[in-house]
Amino acid sequence: MTSQKIILFDGVCNLCNSTVQKVIENDSENQFRFASLQSEFGQKFLEENHLSKEEFNSMILIDGNQIYTKSEAALRIGRELKGIYRLSGLLLVFPKFIRNPVYDFVAKNRYKWFGKRESCWLPTPELQERFIS
């Protein structure tokens, strides 16, 4: 594993892509790197960790040797950002059995509510260095 903080996300999901763009805007220390779950890196990670390579129902945060999924990943990412997003870390006091059903409900409906792209979003040349292929 790496010591970087890497966010794996569904590259064709409009909600996921918007979330990544918000993280980039509010990551004042440029601590996060990104890869789509569909990328070579993402697929290799999923395979090595015995996770589904077709069902992308969770954002994944790799933080050093720790792997976080679902609400745990989202809230840990939020608390590292500037502004109001930092307050999302306060929600970590609620147990996963309360947080994850909410996360799962949004994940299940994200394509219906926010749409889906035909292919993964491509970062601008300025942002390319923050993405892992």
pLDDT digits (tens, 9 = 90+) for 71-125: 999 999 999 999 999 999 999 999 999 999 999 999 999 999 999 887 666 777 7
Eight-class DSSP state of 29: T
**At residue 36, what is the residue type?**
S
Q: How far apart are CA 36 and CA 43, in angstroms?
A: 9
pTM of the prediction? 0.89
All residues at 6 or more sequence positions from 116 whose CB lies less than 8 Å from its CB, including other chains: 12, 13, 14
Rg of the chain in Å (alpha carbons) = 14
Q: What is the pLDDT of residue 129?
A: 82
Q: What is the pLDDT of residue 121?
A: 65
Task: Place 55 in a pLDDT band, splitting at 50, 70 and 90.
Answer: confident
Q: How far apart are CA 44 and CA 49, in angstroms?
A: 9
Q: How far apart are CA 61 and CA 4, in angstroms?
A: 10
Strand order in the sheet with 32-36: 32-36, 5-9, 60-63, 66-69
Task: Place 2 in a pLDDT band, splitting at 50, 70 and 90.
Answer: very low
Q: What is the pLDDT of residue 119?
A: 66
Instruction: Tell me the domain boundaries of the chain.
Output: 5-126
